[in-house]
Structure 1
Amino acid sequence: MLTRLGRPPAAGDAVDLLLECHERIRFFLAMARRLAEAGPADREGVPEAAARVRRYFTQALPLHARDEEESILPRLRGRDPAVDAALDAMAREHAEHEGPLGRLVAACEAVAAAPARHAELAPVIGAATAELERHFSGHLRREEEIVFPAMRRLLDRGADADIVRELRARRGVVEPDLAPAPPGAR
């Protein structure tokens, strides 16, 4: 039997899960900013922080983009012109994030492997983080103000439950089968 470590899956609807993802994006951007600004007194934590930032932006963030493009976009597309415009911007911006994400990840990977390179790479981390902060500022706000309210307004409970299952499945969280077992199945 697989034992889950860490927090249990969040309760709530798909929007609640997506908002949690947005909070993690903001958290890891702030961590990247602190990493770029770390001074000599902070050097001990630099390799771990660099590894955490790299891991988040190479593993978790791509899942979030897939959530939006594969689970949200197709269900909302064509229901409201303003929402369609926000969905178009969302998908376009996901592609625009790739350049600064690549620079941030590469610099963090190098710092995690060779902490002595922090002073050399801190400006790269800082510049990539600043660019991502600019990108994500409007991106997250648009989703939170247009796309997420549209999900609650336009999608029924069944669609929401399907989205929640898809989001969790992408992360390897398997929902227990709540249906009773047929007699003799044990």
Structure 2
Amino acid sequence: MAGIHLHQITQPGQHAAGVGFEQPFEMLTACHERVHRMLRLLGKLREHLATRGHDEQAAQAARDVMRYFDQAAPLHHEDEELHVFPLLLQRGDEALRQAVRRLQADHVAMGEIWPQARRCLLAVADAAATSSWAGWTPGDEQLLDRFAGQYDEHIRLEETLVYPAVQGLLDAPALSAIGEEMQHRRTDGRVRGR
């Protein structure tokens, strides 16, 4: 699987080494790093399909991307919707409130496009053999471009403006409570996915 597999990707619900729930904003940033890794894997998958065609490596890469965006991404968005955005909407200045509203709209748009992008990936994951892989249409390729493209500016805005602003409003007990709630949502036994 060396062709399109990214090594050492943290599985959904787990955290990167050295970052724990006691550091919730470091966890959120680590999730952004995993989003970028999954989007690179998606890019490698697309290149692999274009140059080498469908095979088990492609199917596994598609399953990996689906698992991440089915499980971990919704938890990440939930963390932000519960612990980041409300405080800034309440106590931030107008520029911060506008940024938060944009990020909330991004989450809605991401939630709407993911099932379509997932359908493209599912076709790869479910193709039984090379002969059953018909390829993606130009519309599918454009959809995957749009899906991947949604994340760059979104993450940049969160990391450069929104996260620092909200951290300035939180004391140590509040950060600890956020971390505990984030951990609880990941370990409470609920099935995640869309």
Counterpart amino acid of residue 57 in structure 1: F
- CA displacement 1:104-130 (0-9 Å, x = unmatched): 211111211115354513756643332
SS of match in other structure, 1:77: helix
Identity of matched residues, %: 29
SS of match in other structure, 2:91: coil
SS of match in other structure, 2:28: helix
Larger Rg, first or second structure (1 or 2): 1
The correspondence for 1:48, drawn from 60, 73, 92, is 60
Q: Is the 8 A contact 2:124 2:133 kept in 1?
A: yes
Paired position in structure 1 for 2:146: 131
- Matched residue pairs, number? 170
TM-score (norm 2): 0.77
The correspondence for 1:10, drawn from 16, 19, 25, is 19
Q: Is the 8 A contact 1:32 1:125 kept in 2?
A: no
Instruction: Decide whether aligned partners of structure 1 residues 76 and 112 sit closer, same or farther in structure 2, where only a CA change above 3 A counts.
Output: same
Paired position in structure 2 for 1:63: 75
Q: Is the 8 A contact 1:50 1:112 kept in 2?
A: yes
- Normalized per residue, which structure has more helix? 1
Counterpart amino acid of residue 106 in structure 2: E
Once the two structures are superposed, the pairs formed by residues 33-182 of structure 1 within 5 Å of their partners are 33-38=43-48, 39-40=51-52, 43-81=55-93, 82-114=95-127, 116=130, 117-118=132-133, 120-121=135-136, 126-172=141-187
SS of match in other structure, 1:121: coil
- Output the aligned Cα RMSD: 2.5
**Whole-angstrom CA distance in 1 between matches of 2:41 and 2:133:** 15
Q: Is the 8 A contact 1:33 1:126 kept in 2?
A: no
Following TM superposition, where does structure 1 have runs of at least 4 consecutive aligned residues deviating by more than 4 angstroms?
Answer: 5-9, 122-125
Counterpart amino acid of residue 10 in structure 1: V
Q: Structure 2 unaligned segments of length 5 or more: list them.
A: 1-13, 190-194
